[in-house]
């Protein structure tokens, strides 16, 4: 397995079949085009990272994260991790730790935002620490 940090949106496009599957399962409602536009805007930002795991040339996982360096909110925010196999998950965890070290973020301070199925993440060791609320004015 080879994991590469991506800086070209064309490489990110390899992840579209997996993203479509995620949407087909109801785990994300964001349009793929909106997601790709956001990634394209962030690829040059050193606080943002997008990594793809390859095995024999095939995409076996990918992950994106952004670092918050604000003093009171110093942490990594995991935006997406698609890693069906435990060995890929383990390697991505190591990448997150190294990525955080670049910004002097203590290992293990990673946040995610869930829209559904938070029980599955809790079974994987994530702890529910807050609730995000939203109100729309349109």
pLDDT tens-digit readout, 41-94:
999 999 999 999 999 999 999 999 999 998 888 888 889 999 999 999 999 999
Dihedral over alpha carbons 43, 79, 126, 110 (to 10 degrees): 40
For 87-97, write each residue's pLDDT tens digit.
999 999 999 99
Q: Give the pLDDT confidence score for residue 60 in this predicted structure.
A: 97
Query: Where are the chain's structural domains?
Result: 2-123
54, β-bridge pairs: 2, 59
State the CATH class of domain 2-123. alpha beta
């Amino acid at each position: 397995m080879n994991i590469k940090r991506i800086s070209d949106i064309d490489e990110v496009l390899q992840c579209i079949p997996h993203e479509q599957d995620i949407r087909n399962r109801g785990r994300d409602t964001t349009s793929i085009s909106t997601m790709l536009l956001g990634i394209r805007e962030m690829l040059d930002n050193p606080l943002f990272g997008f990594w793809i795991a390859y095995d024999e040339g095939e995409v076996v996982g990918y992950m994106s994260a952004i670092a918050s360096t604000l003093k009171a909110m110093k942490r990594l925010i995991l935006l997406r991790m698609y890693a069906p196999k435990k060995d890929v998950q383990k390697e991505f965890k190591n990448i997150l730790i190294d990525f955080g070290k670049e910004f002097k973020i203590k290992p293990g301070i990673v946040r995610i935002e869930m829209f559904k199925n938070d029980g599955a993440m809790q079974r994987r060791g994530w702890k529910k620490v807050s609730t995000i609320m939203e109100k729309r004015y349109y």
